[in-house]
Structure 1
Amino acid sequence: MKPLKVIATSCMLLTTCGCSSVMSHTGADQGYYAGTRANVDMMKKDDTSWAMIPLLAIDLPLSAAMDTLLLPYDYLRSDSDKKAKSPKARVQQAEEQNQATSGNPDQGMSKP
């Protein structure tokens, strides 16, 4: 029974490892240690909720560790275009292009 608890605890820790780091790497290139910087920036903001600060403090060392593991990836991306858009922005741009070429700007939308 004990190995099952260790495996479950390890899986839970891995899923919470560096949330800010993972989120910052899904968008455009933001440089090195982007997740760690995002945590610190959120902690400094006045509009950050009091309940969020402890979560950010817990995530900070995990994001730093994840950012350290992702340094080779960041190095490879460092020569890429810094103006690259996030995946969401690229999907929206593709949808706009598809709608413009189809000649039906309301394609896929139902009218009341």
Structure 2
Amino acid sequence: MKTIKVIATSCILLATNGCSSVMSHTGPNQGYYPGTRASMGMLKDDNTSWAMMPLVALDLPFSAVMDTVLLPYDYMRSDSDDTADSPKARILRGEEQNLAASGDPSHAANVAAH
């Protein structure tokens, strides 16, 4: 019986092994400690469901550890161009370049406002 409890506890700990940190590192560069910041943001957000609060609170220390382990990786990515990672930023930059080339300043100003 003790073995089953140890296995169950290990599985739960592995399942919450810095999920916010891992998810935030799969996208564009978000600076240092992105998983920890995301977890803190969810804890402070009034729209976070009451059922998610304990899971986010449980994930927070694991995300902080994982963000610390990935700190050299974040430092290495810090000099990279953010628009190279973000599809939205690349599309907006391309639209602005196309509009500037077309010579329609009223339409270019409208896109820049969004």
Question: Which range, TM-score by smaller chain?
Answer: 0.5 to 0.7
- Tell me, in whole angstroms, the C-alpha distance in 1 between the residues paired with 2:72 and 2:3: 33
Q: Give CA deviations for 1:29-83 in whole Å, capped at 9, x if unaligned.
A: 0000000000001111111101111111000000000000000110111111122
**Identity within the alignment, %:** 68
TM-score of the aligned structures, taking structure 2 as reference length: 0.65
Does 2:71 correspond to 1:71?
A: yes
Cα distance in 2 between the residues matched to 1:50 and 1:4 = 29
Amino acid at match of 1:64: A
1:22 aligns to what?
22
CA displacement at 1:12 relative to structure 2:
4.3
Distance in 2 between the 1:32 and 1:76 partners? 11
Query: Which residue pairs with 2:62 in the alignment?
Result: 62
Structure 1 residues 53 and 3, CA, compared in 2 at 3 Å: closer, same or farther? closer
Unaligned runs of 5+ in 2: 92-114
Residue 8 of structure 1 and its aligned partner are, at CA, apart by 6.4
**TM-score computed with the length of structure 1 as normaliser:** 0.67
Distance in 1 (alpha carbons) for counterparts of 2:7 and 2:54: 25
User: Equivalences for 1:1-112 in 2 at 5 Å?
Assistant: 6=6, 9-83=9-83, 84-85=85-86
Q: State the 1:15 CA deviation.
A: 3.3
Q: Secondary structure at the match of 1:63?
A: helix
Distance verdict in 2 for CA 1:11–1:47, change over 3 Å: closer
Q: CA RMSD in A?
A: 2.3
TM superposition shift of 1:16: 1.9
Q: Residues 44 and 12 (structure 1 numbering): CA distance in 2 closer, same or farther, change over 3 Å?
A: closer
- Structure 1 residue runs of 4 or more that deviate by more than 3 Å after TM superposition: 1-12
Give 5+ residue unaligned stretches, structure 1.
Answer: 94-112
Q: How many residues are treated as equivalent by the alignment?
A: 88
What is the one-letter code of the residue matched to 1:69?
A: V
